[in-house]
Amino acid sequence: MSQEPTAKRGCSGGNAVAFAVDRLSDLPDGLLHTIMSFLPAPQVVQTSVLSRRWRDLWRSTPCISIEQRDFQITTGSERHQREEKWRKLENFTTNFLLFHNNVAFLDKFRVCGNASGANALHLRYVDRWVRRGIKYCPQVLEILISSSCPLIPFPHMGASSCRLRRLYLFGLHLNNQFTDLLCFGCPVLQDLELRRCTHVFQEFKSHTLKRLVIDVCGNLTGALVVITAPCLAYLRLGISSRCYSNGISIFETASIVKASIHLLCLGEIFSLKHQRHLLGNLCNVPNLELSGFHTMALLVEESVEFPIFTGLKTLSLEQCFLDKCDLNNKLDALGSFVQNAPCLEKLTLTCCMFEVESEKEGQLMRKNIILQRQDQNTFWCLKLKFIEVVYEEDHDHQLVELLWGIGRRLPDASIILTNYFMD
């Protein structure tokens, strides 16, 4: 295609007119589509006015991203203003998908919006967009719908899931068909991320998943949830007080390189038994992050069946040991757990042992502190060389007590002190 002049400049001395060259339009379609993939959908369409070369490129872009924020729809605006912006969003998206002529498959389809305050008609439009995007058989599918109303059900994908490699869902309801989709309908799915979704099934089963994130999802069955993914390399669980009150079991964990388990309910609903059981499932994981676990869940002597963490190399504990147990018991639990990890090399404690509370009126700070040397257990972990303690503030000399206690119980490790609010 011939190059179009985009600018004209007269040369001094009456020389011939020179034309600036549109080098960007000389790039192949694939590279231009890559550039367009970083743009929101309205700007993708606006590129059609750049030149004749760009006029129809948006119709074949392999990445479609529909985001409510691009139309400035906010819950704080007046109702008539929201309705007008919703109409613009609906008209644009409907026409964009209608005139998109990608005869091949999409690389990525994304819909992101806030349905809080939206009416039933708006939600029907969103559902249509999702279904239309699924028909393009995308490799990456991201549906993020924040809503205060009943969650939008995730539609049946059918054969459209054959190319799916990444699935990210936020704020959707998943029915029993989702189990079959994971197990049989997604032959190349490697990355599954579910946040603030609800589901009515008890098993996550996939033979291809390598990354799994389940964060603050509601289990409407109330039963034990089972995860079976023999190829899984990364696992993250965010367990709130509204879900998984009957525990989680993880099978075939030999491939997991890193697991991150966050008890957002701080153990209030997820019982000590469930905490112990979950830890037992992860005894082969080399890199483990735990948050919200209670003292007695980590105290080895309380259970003769507590596992040996043979492959554990790095352990990060955040907001653990925040229950009412005595500090000595907490440190004994920490030491016994570490001693059960003979290959552990680094331990990180972030805001553990003490809850950060502002000083109450009339509360007296201790003028001195007595550090006991006798009658303290000593634990041995030969490969543990570094213990990093990340703290927010030292209230009432608690940090001094903590460092002293750790040094007495794990004497072979160097202790690194880091302020939480400083890089």
Say yes or no to pLDDT of 231 above 90: yes
Say yes or no to pLDDT of 8 above 50: no
Residue 98 makes CB contacts below 8 A (sequence gap 6+) with: none
Euclidean distance between CA atoms 184 and 172, whole angstroms: 21
Q: Is 30 part of a structural domain of the chain? A: no
The Cβ of residue 35 has, within 10 Å, a number of other Cβ atoms equal to 14
Q: Is 327 part of a structural domain of the chain? A: yes
E strands present in 101-219:
108-114, 140-146, 152-153, 166-170, 172-174, 191-195, 198-199, 203-205, 211-215, 218-219
Position with higher pLDDT, 29 vs 289: 289
* pLDDT band for position 394 (cuts 50, 70, 90): confident
Euclidean distance between CA atoms 282 and 251, whole angstroms: 9
Whether 266 contacts 241, CB under 8 Å: no
Q: What pLDDT is recorded for position 335? A: 92
How many domains are contained in the chain? 1
Say yes or no to pLDDT of 276 above 70: yes
Q: What pLDDT is recorded for position 376? A: 72
* pLDDT band for position 368 (cuts 50, 70, 90): low
Residue 159 makes CB contacts below 8 A (sequence gap 6+) with: 137
Whether 386 contacts 416, CB under 8 Å: yes
pTM: 0.85
Whether 214 contacts 194, CB under 8 Å: yes
Say yes or no to pLDDT of 267 above 60: no
Say yes or no to pLDDT of 386 above 90: yes
Express as a percent the part of the chain with pLDDT over 90: 40
Euclidean distance between CA atoms 15 and 362, whole angstroms: 87
Q: Is 393 part of a structural domain of the chain? A: yes
Q: Is 396 part of a structural domain of the chain? A: yes
Residue 395 lies in domain: 286-354+379-423
Tokens of 295: 């003292």
Q: Is 310 part of a structural domain of the chain? A: yes
How large is the average pLDDT for residues 394-405? 83
Q: What does the DSSP 8-state code read for residue 62?
A: S
Q: Is 176 part of a structural domain of the chain? A: no
Euclidean distance between CA atoms 168 and 272, whole angstroms: 31
* pLDDT band for position 320 (cuts 50, 70, 90): very high
Tokens of 178: 């989702």
How large is the average pLDDT for residues 130-144? 93
Q: What pLDDT is recorded for position 10? A: 44
Nearest to 253 by CA among 279, 285, 275, 276: 285
Q: What pLDDT is recorded for position 268? A: 58
Average pLDDT of the chain is 84
Q: Is 107 part of a structural domain of the chain? A: no
Say yes or no to pLDDT of 232 above 80: yes
Q: What does the DSSP 8-state code read for residue 45?
A: H
Say yes or no to pLDDT of 362 above 60: no
For the stretch 235-257, pLDDT in tens is: 999 988 767 878 899 998 999 99
Euclidean distance between CA atoms 261 and 289, whole angstroms: 6
Q: What pLDDT is recorded for position 46? A: 87
Position with higher pLDDT, 103 vs 67: 67
* pLDDT band for position 222 (cuts 50, 70, 90): confident
For the stretch 155-209, pLDDT in tens is: 999 889 999 999 999 999 999 999 999 999 999 999 999 999 999 999 999 999 9
Q: What pLDDT is recorded for position 29? A: 83
Q: Is 279 part of a structural domain of the chain? A: no
Say yes or no to pLDDT of 148 above 70: no
> Where does 21-161 have alpha helices with state H?
29-36, 41-46, 79-99, 120-135
